[in-house]
Structure 1
Amino acid sequence: MAGIRSGLVLAIVLLSRVLSAQNAAPVTPPPSESKGSPILFGTNVDADEGTESRGASLGLGAYDSKKKDQKKKKHRGEFAIAPIPLVNPSIGNGGGLGVIYAVDLDGSAESPPSAFGAAGFITETGSWFAGVGGQIHLRNDKYRTLVALGGGKFNYNFFGIGADSGSKSIPLTQTSKAFLLEPKMRVYRDWYLGPRYHIISSTAGLNSPKLDPSKLPVPLPSTIDLRTAALGIRLQRDSSDSSFYPKKGSLFDVLADFYAPQLGGARTYQNLTLAYDKYLPLGPKNVLAIRASACMVTEGAPFYDVCLLGMSKDLRGYQVGEFRDDRMLVGQMEFRRELFWRLGATAFAGAGAVAHDWSGFGNSHAEPGGGFGLRFVLAKHNHINLRADYAWGDNSHAAYVSLGEAF
């Protein structure tokens, strides 16, 4: 759901946990007393048999379409429910809930189950979000359609725009609602291609009447009531061997969005993101995962829709949007080790930078990030992990709890 930024990005990430269970937004513990968070877990309920199995998966990719020799389960569908803790100094402490219903629509052994989900959260600062969505697989997985609808209110910290941002912030409030539709078709082997359309309505402004805008440490963006709409295209090549814990193969993803008033919005600009994930097996229990990504946004984008550094899948150790600008380059590497029983461990490191244009990276400072994590296998069949990471950045730190790997 690229293109939904800033305050909405945390909400969309939460919904994507329900829909894909792979990418998670950071939750940074407050520097003072830390409140305990509930343990994240999943429960699947078979709609036919009425049986219940703990530690089963949440997600659309739970079925590995490349394992064609595996027999497909003979049931109409199953429910999965997971509470999701949220601890974040920007929008406050709180909690969320995700619900998903997975069902086989075409009965093909080569097609993953379609999934329909809902997610929401609320925090002590008054931030909240609710959304629904689904991903449909038809005709032996030849056709894939993603659809999502959500909205909420987000009180968060804005650190400014540019490579020098990130030191001081001002409180903003943003109310947003969004709709996304993305159908894709398999065009050749592991290649999928299709159009996408999304529309976002947002109102953002200062969240403190006591602050004098002329004395703020960072420039204050104008209070806006803005709607943006984009028609885009997505191209993916996925040769990885698993949706949740890939041990080999790669994922190449290209996303281009073209915003224009003729599509229902109010501004004209473009957004292009590219990402490449590579998975290298190092023996039966070790995996080296490598990710590189780039983002480019043209002039005319609102401050909440430029490139954001700090997403879990790109670089851990920072708040989402702590650094933002029209260009971004990020690289991250992670070593994953299966220990014993259902336990595993990881070590990761990376760096990223933002700049106003590509030539600005010569003078831009790369922000480092790295840390360690533990894993607990909730679902053995698909190797779906409960992920707990702690990462350090430059004068920053963040904790992450989610289902699935960072990338």
Structure 2
Amino acid sequence: MPAFHFGAALLLSLLTLPAAAQSPAPDSVTTSAPVKKPRRVKIAVLPIVFSQPETGLAYGAAVLPVWRFGADTTTRSSNARVLAYRTQRKQSSASLTHSIFTPGERWFVGGEAQYFNFPIYYYGVGNDTRKSEKSDISYEVFILNQRVLKRLRPGLFVGGLYRLTNMYNVRIDDALTDDGTRPNWLLERDARERQATLTSGIGPALLYDTRDNILSAHHGRFLDASVLFAGKALGSDYGFMRLQFDARQYWVLGPKDVERTVLAGQVQGIFHGGTVPFRELANLGGERMMRGIYEGRFRDRQLVAAQAEVRQQLFWRLRGVLFGGVGQVQPQVTDFRPGQFNLAGGAGLRIDVNRQDRLSIRIDYGVGSGESSGVYFAFNEAF
């Protein structure tokens, strides 16, 4: 799903609804044993309205449940997000994301299912694309990411992942780039990439996660590493390999018992081998990494990026953030150069919806290399 680059964003209303999830099972041994309290789910329901050049007026809603299995507080809260919207130009998007810790954190199940029919700006491939040479393309796509991991010891999980991307109904709105100087960049890719394309892959995954809270960590470490193998044996139209890692760390600045100021850092790498269609290339920009740069403004086979963020409690339910990042994409790993990093940075606000579980609304404004800027309306922290 594309990042929320909102020219204007308006939150219409906010409603937090605690609801009983399930009654406790009857005691199978003795009626005198203590009865567990019912499990509870906290749900935030957020109608949203936004506007951006590609869509016109758009409207939709998000449902954000947060829950914990059982009464064991050492099991971190699980969460999900259901988001759907419709635009003035009859475009639509729907998505479900989830991060689930089973009782005792014996298993972690995470992933997403997304559909969207949305126009994008495509700037071709490379680390120094020009803003004036953007191409207009659109397509429909369904994406499924799923991973199931088993805990080996506290904080360490290993398992497997599956990813499917089904792209179809590709449309090139104009034969030329916006400045009229060259053909639409997608025409320079292999003609097969302008047809319906399916990629399907599996691979091993490792997660090391000691964060105190997965929605908005104050302290702890996080490492997500995986290898994806896509090929014809799995029904994929393209064969390629993707090695990916995402490392993060969080520190409380100042008195530890107050936790009003948090410093967060992240380093990310994506590396490909084989034949990779444009939709599966590594992208710089978006509402999570390199905010301020349009998602996909810089894309290629290999990517390295890093960012840092300071989060400060202000008053009531409001928090402020300052963030900055650097990133680079290249065709080969040996092409990375110290002086070729793109830059991005900005500031934002957080509105805490559920302070106990740290569920929040995120509004960021960022600027970046290539005369880029963007306003982002999203949920929970960027990382």
TM-score range with shorter-chain normalisation?
A: 0.7 to 0.9
Residue of 378, 396, 400 corresponding to 2:353: 378
| Structure 1 residue 79 displacement after superposition | 4.1
Residues 233, 73 of structure 1: alpha-carbon distance in 2 compared, 3 angstrom cutoff: farther
1:180 matched to 2:151? The reply is: no
| Structure 1 residue 398 displacement after superposition | 0.7
Query: Matches of 1:101 and 1:335 in 2, distance apart?
Result: 26
- Give structure 2 stretches of 5+ with no counterpart: 23-35
Q: What residue number does 2:197 align with?
A: 226
1:196 matched to 2:172? The reply is: no
3-state SS in 2 of match to 1:339 = strand
| Structure 1 residue 83 displacement after superposition | 2.5
* Mean CA deviation greater in 311-320 or 363-372: 363-372
Q: What residue number does 2:251 align with?
A: 280
| Structure 1 residue 364 displacement after superposition | 6.7
Q: What residue number does 1:400 align with?
A: 376
Query: Matches of 2:321 and 2:97 in 1, distance apart?
Result: 31
Cα contact 1:26–1:318 (8 A) shared by 2: no
Between Structure 1 and Structure 2, how many residues are aligned?
358
| Structure 1 residue 327 displacement after superposition | 0.8
| Structure 1 residue 43 displacement after superposition | 2.3
Q: CA RMSD in A?
A: 2.8
1:122 matched to 2:78? The reply is: no
Letter in 2 for 1:95: Y
Choose between structure 1 and 2 for higher RCO, CA contacts under 8 A separated by at least 6 residues.
Answer: 1
3-state SS in 1 of match to 2:340 = coil
- Aligned pairs (5 A) from 1:11-160: 25-29=3-7, 35=8, 37-39=10-12, 41-47=14-20, 74-75=38-39, 77-100=41-64, 108-112=72-76, 118-132=82-96, 134-146=98-110, 148-160=112-124
Cα contact 2:174–2:184 (8 A) shared by 1: no
Q: After superposition, what is the alpha-carbon deviation per residue over 1:238-261, rounded to whole angstroms, capped at 9, x for unaligned?
A: 112222222211111112211011
Query: Matches of 2:306 and 2:206 in 1, distance apart?
Result: 21
Q: What residue number does 2:26 align with?
A: none
Higher strand proportion (structure 1 or 2): 2
Query: Matches of 2:195 and 2:339 in 1, distance apart?
Result: 29
Query: Matches of 2:235 and 2:267 in 1, distance apart?
Result: 33
Cα contact 2:44–2:353 (8 A) shared by 1: no
| Structure 1 residue 271 displacement after superposition | 1.2
- Give structure 1 stretches of 5+ with no counterpart: 1-8, 11-24, 30-34, 50-71
1:318 matched to 2:293? The reply is: yes
Query: Matches of 2:241 and 2:56 in 1, distance apart?
Result: 32
Residue of 341, 344, 360 corresponding to 1:369: 344
* Mean CA deviation greater in 372-381 or 272-281: 372-381
Q: What residue number does 1:55 align with?
A: none
* TM-score normalised per structure 1: 0.79
Q: After superposition, what is the alpha-carbon deviation per residue over 1:283-316, rounded to whole angstroms, capped at 9, x for unaligned?
A: 1321111111111122311101000000332211
3-state SS in 2 of match to 1:359 = helix
| Structure 1 residue 174 displacement after superposition | 1.0
| Structure ID, larger Rg | 2
Give aligned-pair identity as a percent. 22
3-state SS in 1 of match to 2:233 = helix
Q: What residue number does 1:63 align with?
A: none
1:333 matched to 2:314? The reply is: no
* Mean CA deviation greater in 170-179 or 205-214: 205-214
Q: After superposition, what is the alpha-carbon deviation per residue over 1:7-26, rounded to whole angstroms, capped at 9, x for unaligned?
A: xx32xxxxxxxxxxxxxx34
* Mean CA deviation greater in 375-384 or 395-404: 375-384
